[in-house]
Amino acid sequence: MRESVNEKMDIKNVLYKTRNVLLIGVDGRHKEDTAYIVCEGLSMSVDDYNVPYKWDPYLSIPTEKEYEGILNGDIISMYFPFECKGLQKAGEDLAFYINENMKKYSQVVIIGHSKVGVCIANMARMLARKCVLVFVSAPFEGTIIADLFKMERRLTGIENKVYQKYYNQHPVDLDIMPKSLFLRKADFSGVKNHLCINIVSECVNVHNIVDLGCKYLGHRIGYKHSDGIVSVSSQERLSKDYPTVKEIRMDASHANSLKRLLSLKKEKYIIE
């Protein structure tokens, strides 16, 4: 289903590459009228030959089979290079690509998990065409998981070691610190011009060990209602400010929310 990233991988389907965004086509061919840009909020940098030289721990790239029967269209995966200057610049570059290179599609759907949801909400005003925007577990008011000093005070020594292994203070991560400069300046008003769905995730029931880990983390950092990483109130902010954004609540941890949204059994996790 997925291919693990390594230093010998030759990525043949790079569609667009800047300092701020990396777009990879699942099969590299234009076949359908609808395009899906899917971003999990992960980072990867490739060299001039499109060989990875830095990536998030345990990163794997989806193959076409992962989306069979779920997304009927051309699939594009998006990543943040480690050189990315932040969510504002990533949004600008992504909007430029969509405006200039995706006119052949009758519909463009952008699915952004976590910080990517915040990125594409801010980018919405830059798009020249009407799109479908889906925000999943997005921290519109930030999350303290991005605040190194607050996390150090809440976690034990071994917990901190695990946390710092996954969190390296990339600019895109610093942008989702509560009251960051990016969040203070972000303009989400463009969502009014698009079809938007806000997936608000809360880990209510533990379905697997990943849910358990996220629920434990949410407890340790002091979030009563959250997906383990982002509070429900932070996720809700966009749909409260912009009523045209449809809100769907899902029983999912942060690590599983995108997977459950894209699963054939997603109705199982919908909270009425």
Domain residue spans of the chain: 2-269
pLDDT for res 1: 65
Given the structure tokens 């980072």, which residue do they identify?
43
Token pair of 194 as six digits: 């698009």
**Residues 6+ away with beta carbon under 8 Å from 8:** 51
pLDDT for res 256: 96
Give one DSSP letter per residue of 156-217, joined into a string. -HHHHHHHHHH----HHHHTTSTT-HHHHH---GGGGGSEEEEEEEE--S--SHHHHHHHHH
Decide: helix, strand or coil at residue 53: strand
Does domain 2-269 fall under CATH 3.40.50? My reply is yes
Q: In angstroms, what CA-CA distances link 88 with 116, 124, 182? A: 11, 11, 7
Kindly report the pTM of this predicted structure. Answer: 0.94
Digitized pLDDT (tens) for each residue of the chain, 272 residues in all:
688 998 989 898 999 999 999 999 976 556 779 999 999 999 999 999 999 999 998 899 888 788 888 898 999 999 999 999 999 999 999 999 999 999 999 999 999 999 999 999 999 999 999 999 999 999 999 999 999 888 888 888 888 888 877 777 899 999 999 999 999 999 999 999 999 999 999 999 999 999 999 999 999 999 999 999 999 999 999 999 999 999 999 999 999 999 999 998 999 999 97
